[in-house]
Amino acid sequence: MTAQSVQTPPSLTTVFPGGPRLLADIGGTNARFALETAPGRIEAIEVLACAAYPTLAAALVAYLASPTVAQAGVTGIRNGAIAIANPVTGDMVRMTNHHWAFSIEALRREVNFDTLVVVNDFTALASSLPQLSATQKHQVGGGAGVPGTPLGLIGAGTGLGVSGLIPGKDGWTALLSEGGHVTFSPANPTEVAILQYAWKEFEHVSAERLMSGAGIELIYRALADHGDLPAEKLSAADISRRALAGECSLCDEVIEAFCCMLGTIAGNIAVTLGAQGGIYIGGGIVPKLGERFDRSGFRARFEAKGRFNKYLAAVPTWVITAEYPAFVGVSAILSERLASV
């Protein structure tokens, strides 16, 4: 992918004492890399396919040796931070939705960094939420955020990420959550049928099994089976494209079910965290649905919590439209780590 930069106000641009920093956002499908050459100035962005590299180290080394980095005139990078779609509970990281596994310390030594921070990708994305401008998010439905209250975060892509920000006297604390793996809970007879179909393939049906790219394909198969309809072998991208183009009523039914299910789970997060500041929706799927998501049953389902309907009606829901928000969050985490060294 052609190199890009994230524009920031000139007042933020001063040279880092420790030199440029590497930032990375690693998902199950794509590995995104960038350089932060000064506070708030993120450039030389490259997106590499995870499947094209045997290890994360190989992808990282390829990026550092790429023409993009050379053209930026950057050498001798000593500090970096990686957001990854996986739990990070110790030195060893084994990805859930890809085959990469690595030791953080071994990777640090291999690329010759002084500091390498690795955090969950949705922890990093959560850290970016207070920095998002009005043009980097799109509100769906009503409600207004209450200042100084928790924020919730959910995002469907290769998997389902969940996090949140909790306010404190010294700022925000990002949650180290794996909430995408909670048990899926159906909200109507159709979703019961989807769950029963999914049980044929999985002993435990988590929210992620359905709220993901593979989940869209699973919902498609389940609804075809439920309606006694022929099912083609379609990818999630094919299903979404046909639905958005109005070419397939079954595909549109799949997208509608996906949006409604996501509304239920987002509402669960809101009441669990007391996220009166709002719920933010990231990931690779929802932002691409555009207006179709706006007119889906997402918001109605989000508010459908019986006696807590009015409570949720006051909570805003936002789709994150910023292209690379995780870089902003992982940059803040790295800055905090370096400041404490």
Per-residue pLDDT tens over the stretch 231-265: 899 999 999 999 999 999 999 999 999 999 999 99
- Between the alpha carbon of residue 254 and those of residues 31, 217, 323, the distances in Å are 28, 9, 26
- SS3 helix, strand, coil % of the chain, rounded to 5? 45, 25, 35
Rounded to two decimals, what is the model's pTM? 0.82
Report residue 15's pLDDT band, with 50, 70 and 90 as the boundaries.
Answer: low
Q: Is 70 exceeded by the pLDDT of residue 164?
A: yes
Give me the amino acid identity at 194: I
Q: Is 50 exceeded by the pLDDT of residue 5?
A: no
Q: Is 90 exceeded by the pLDDT of residue 192?
A: yes
pLDDT at 214: 95
Q: In the predicted model, what is the mean pLDDT of the chain?
A: 91
Give the mean pLDDT of 284-296.
Answer: 94
Give me the amino acid identity at 284: G
Q: Is 27 annotated as a binding residue?
A: yes
Helices (H), ranges, the chain = 56-64, 67-71, 104-110, 121-128, 189-199, 207-210, 213-226, 236-245, 249-273, 286-289, 291-294, 298-303, 309-313, 325-339
CB-facing half-sphere around the CA of 332: CA atoms within 13 A: 18
Q: Structural domains in the chain?
A: 10-126+324-339 (3.30.420.40), 133-321 (3.40.367.20)
pLDDT at 261: 98
- The percentage of residues in the chain with a pLDDT greater than 70, rounded to a whole number, is 95
Report residue 177's pLDDT band, with 50, 70 and 90 as the boundaries.
Answer: confident
Tell me whether residue 145 is exposed, middle or buried, using C-beta atoms within 10 angstroms of its C-beta: 0 to 12, 13 to 18, 19 or more: middle
Q: Is 115 annotated as a binding residue?
A: no
Q: Is 28 annotated as a binding residue?
A: yes
Give the mean pLDDT of 128-156.
Answer: 93
Q: Is 25 annotated as a binding residue?
A: yes
pLDDT at 14: 54
